[in-house]
């Protein structure tokens, strides 16, 4: 992480994730297949982003991102909000 590289205070980063992350979901074959489908349909979408989107689609009410490249991914079953 940026904390280990000296870019951020490690305790601040750990506190951020401790407060932010309420659930950790396993990465299943179903999620991998959905991420691959998204990646195949959206060639500019990188695999880590496709994994995040597939996970959000299955486990969240909506997906919020600051990455405007995710906006065109309109075939999700959840809304994407680009901030």
- Given this model, what pLDDT does residue 43 score? 87
- Two tokens at 74? 């309109």
- Given this model, what pLDDT does residue 2 score? 61
pLDDT along the chain (83 residues), means of 10: 68 81 89 95 90 91 81 76 76
- Given this model, what pLDDT does residue 3 score? 60
- Given this model, what pLDDT does residue 12 score? 82
- Given this model, what pLDDT does residue 5 score? 67
- Given this model, what pLDDT does residue 34 score? 95
- Two tokens at 68? 């405007």
Output the CA–CA distances (angstroms, integers) from residue 25 to 1, 5, 54, 65, 76, in the order listed. 20, 27, 12, 19, 19
- Given this model, what pLDDT does residue 20 score? 80
Q: How far is residue 58's CA from residue 38's CA, in Å, rounded to a whole number?
A: 13
């Amino acid at each position: 992480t940026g904390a280990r590289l000296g870019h951020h205070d490690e305790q601040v980063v750990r506190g951020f994730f401790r407060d932010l992350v309420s659930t950790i979901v396993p990465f299943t074959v179903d999620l991998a297949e959905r991420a691959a489908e998204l990646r195949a349909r959206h060639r500019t979408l990188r695999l880590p982003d496709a994994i995040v989107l597939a996970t959000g689609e299955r486990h969240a009410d909506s997906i919020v991102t600051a990455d405007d490249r995710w906006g065109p991914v309109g075939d999700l079953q959840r809304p994407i909000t680009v901030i």
